[in-house]
Structure 1
């Protein structure tokens, strides 16, 4: 009875204490997005063109999917630095498995496509499972574990390809998943919306989602309350790895080949940035994936605007860094405010 009350009290304290932080970030994102959209549209006639809008939404979809998994891990009190490398590994594994199946079976393309997608998703889930087991059972820092798996996973991808793109996939895979559109929008956008809705449901309506908040918000209270820490921690990393693999498969279909250079450090950093800017506390226990998805859209719009305005690519990371610092400052301000209360 007392332990349950402790857990509930801890959750209420975290929620009420960070209310101002959440309100600031929810209000700040649309304002910043409006400034970027209005300013860029006035300076570039191509920004509001239909093709550019579709491109922004497509790229934002990739980032939103991977950021949702990253956010879940951070909410649980961890980090997943391996997501970019998983994107590349899933791309290579998907392309190789699909090409090999198409060559060996020689039957309907759907069989090779299913085998390739299954292999790609499996590779991401396997990396996530390894990360989760190391973090939960060996008590190793998630930052250190995923830093190691990032290097190892990237190396495996390069070893499998020798740095050469993998071709030979069925054309139906590229046409149906990478190039097809419905109501004028690419399939990746609908997949991203589905992922976000599922993640929102998991966070708000399932015990898994509630326990993840409890673990990240107050680990001791969660243990005393009888929450199974290990399976839920492992689950967050598995979800993150699976979503990163999904992005790798979608990018493979888009570019038409498996490449060990997809994803990389840029996507890892952007996924963390989207989570932090979207209100996920680096100390765990706080964050909503729907706001993270909006942050992913904002970052994509910002990157697109900087490219259209011909801002030097070496300068662009400065903008991302300043925004991240602002988000972390808001988080720290909220924490101090909570401690005073």
Structure 2
């Protein structure tokens, strides 16, 4: 006696379990699709090494410092990923963040504007910069390396003009200062954690049901449970550690709670991940990065996609500049300097985004930014100079680029690309 399965039931029957997902992932890695694996392994090795050599690395106050130190770099790297996905580059992103931070400081401190108007002016400046850069690349056909290198040089001069040839403009607005220097109340931190886990679980379940309903292979409940469990475990540990009292004298000042910048970074991570993975615009970004001519023949407005990517890049750089201004409580000619760009590009590549275009995720910016922050923080605790930090970060970036190149060759050889 035979039975006929409905499409959804057939898909569910064909869904691989945890073992099948593991085998599939191993096959992808062997085929050259490394994804975020190198960055995750690098984080584990670095954190373990620094924890052994300098136990203070695991202290609550240093754990919080890692989040605040890597926030601006990760935000700028998020924007750079959109440009890198197209196989382009933006060498001006660092000084774009500095110019936008200067616009924030000048409008707020020198002209007495409220913080929200100053933030809007800074972000609008970033969008305009991105539109101009994108138009020069897409419409005039000038290589992005040349356009953004010219902007890199010009924005250094513009930043000097905005800060009156070298002055330091102090930021006194409590709202802006709070971004990097204040914390979410512990109870609110736990509420945000629970809400985030519940939303993530709901999204995973709804996605699986929709795929089953369409007759497609969907992730089984066990795989979804593992994903949600890992997120809950890591997130719970982070919130618990950040809610510990970090002040040496809690009677005078209390330092506990999730830094305010963390929910901002996570919200932008979720937003841009949704844009890349769940919208036509995101699919067009990958299509243009994979093969621009094929995308054009498919009816995709390639020039518009390129301009949009540069607008997003500079817009995110403006947010990174605001975070930098909050971190230092001031803006000066070094804000957004060349090392900011190098660290941001390094974060994107170390996290797994390809320099050749077509491969990358917004999450790569977070993972790569964490690697950069851990290197700087850990080596600082060990007493190494800035020169050694630069050398080690450069070697890690070179290693990541080498892994990317080898992965592409392996993928081509295995027929995955």
Which TM-score bucket, shorter chain as reference? 0.7 to 0.9
Query: 2:383 maps to what in 1?
Result: 310
1:191 and 2:292 correspond: no
Distance 1:68 1:171, change over 3 A: closer
* CA apart distance, 1:231: 1.3
| Matched-pair contact (CA < 8 Å) for 1:98–1:116 | yes
* CA apart distance, 1:322: 1.8
Equivalent residues in 2 for 1:30-179, closer than 5 Å = 30-102=40-112, 112-161=114-163, 162-167=165-170, 169-179=171-181
User: Paired residue for 2:360, among 261, 266, 287?
Assistant: 287
| Matched-pair contact (CA < 8 Å) for 2:96–2:314 | yes
Larger radius of gyration: 2
Gapped runs of 5+ residues in structure 1?
A: 1-16, 103-110
* CA apart distance, 1:291: 2.7
Runs ≥4 in structure 1, deviation > 6 angstroms?
Answer: none
| Matched-pair contact (CA < 8 Å) for 1:94–1:117 | yes
Distance 1:52 1:180, change over 3 A: same
* CA apart distance, 1:93: 0.7
Q: Determine the C-alpha separation between the residues in 1 that align with 2:134 and 2:326.
A: 28
Distance 1:129 1:153, change over 3 A: same
Q: Determine the C-alpha separation between the residues in 1 that align with 2:84 and 2:289.
A: 8
Q: Matched residue of 1:323: which SS?
A: helix
Q: Matched residue of 1:131: which SS?
A: helix
Distance 1:121 1:53, change over 3 A: same
Query: 2:306 maps to what in 1?
Result: 233
Calculate the aligned-residue CA RMSD, in Å: 1.9
Q: Determine the C-alpha separation between the residues in 2 that align with 1:309 and 1:180.
A: 27
* CA apart distance, 1:314: 1.3
Query: 1:278 maps to what in 2?
Result: 351
Number of equivalenced pairs: 316
User: Paired residue for 1:330, among 403, 410, 413?
Assistant: 403
User: Paired residue for 2:285, among 212, 223, 227?
Assistant: 212
* CA apart distance, 1:29: 2.1
Gapped runs of 5+ residues in structure 2?
A: 1-26, 187-256
Q: Determine the C-alpha separation between the residues in 2 that align with 1:18 and 1:282.
A: 20
Q: Determine the C-alpha separation between the residues in 1 that align with 2:269 and 2:31.
A: 22
* CA apart distance, 1:271: 1.2
Q: Which moved more, 1:285-294 or 1:127-136?
A: 285-294
Q: Matched residue of 1:185: which SS?
A: coil
User: Paired residue for 2:392, among 291, 296, 319?
Assistant: 319
Q: Determine the C-alpha separation between the residues in 2 that align with 1:22 and 1:93.
A: 44
Q: Determine the C-alpha separation between the residues in 2 that align with 1:18 and 1:285.
A: 17
